Amino acid sequence: EIVLTQSPATLSLSPGQRATLSCRASQSVSNYLSWYQQKPGQAPRLLIYDAFNRATGIPARFSGSGSGTDFTLIISSLEPEDFAVYYCQQRSNWPLSFGGGTKVEIK
């Protein structure tokens, strides 16, 4: 089973700042890595699929990069609505797996 490790667990930033979230896989997942955003009481929302492709309707301030075992989600300038928990997920191998999440909180 592929284990995804997200870091940091919590990121405390102010609106307008840049957020850099990391996801590391225990073995290569090629570029089969997605990112989701989840706000309290809501379902997750797909942000990025296959490492760098933005999902429909996702603002350009969200970008993904990486391949193999190391991936990054960047939010270039945090908006108030971006404070949430972010999960990565791999689809390279079954069983599918999610990372433990990074909470982006207001500093």
Partner 1 sequence: QVQLVESGGDLVKPGGSLRLSCAASGFSFSEEYMIWIRQAPGKGLEWVSYISNDGNGIKYADSVRGRFTISRDNARNSLYLQMNSLRVEDTAVYYCARCRGLGNGAYFDYWGQGTRVTVSS
- Considering beta carbons, is residue 96 or 106 the nearer one to partner 1? 96
Where are any strands of DSSP class E within the chain? 4-7, 10-13, 19-25, 33-38, 45-49, 53-54, 62-67, 70-75, 85-90, 97-98, 102-106
106 binds partner 1 (CB under 8 A): no
Q: Could you tell me the smallest distance in angstroms from the CB atom of residue 16 to partner 1?
A: 28
91 makes contact with partner 1 (CB under 8 A): yes
- Give the chain's length: 107
Least CB distance to partner 1 at residue 2 (A): 10
Per CB under 8 A, 63 contacts partner 1: no
Q: Does 52 bind partner 1 (CB under 8 A)?
A: no
Shortest CB 78 distance to partner 1, Å: 22
Q: Are 6 and 101 in contact (CB under 8 A)?
A: yes
69 binds partner 1 (CB under 8 A): no
Q: Are 6 and 100 contacting, i.e. CB atoms less than 8 angstroms apart?
A: yes
Q: Which is nearer to partner 1, 41 or 80 (CB)?
A: 41
- 90 contacts partner 1 (rule: CB under 8 A): yes
Q: What gap in Å lies between CA 90 and CA 52, rounded to an integer?
A: 13
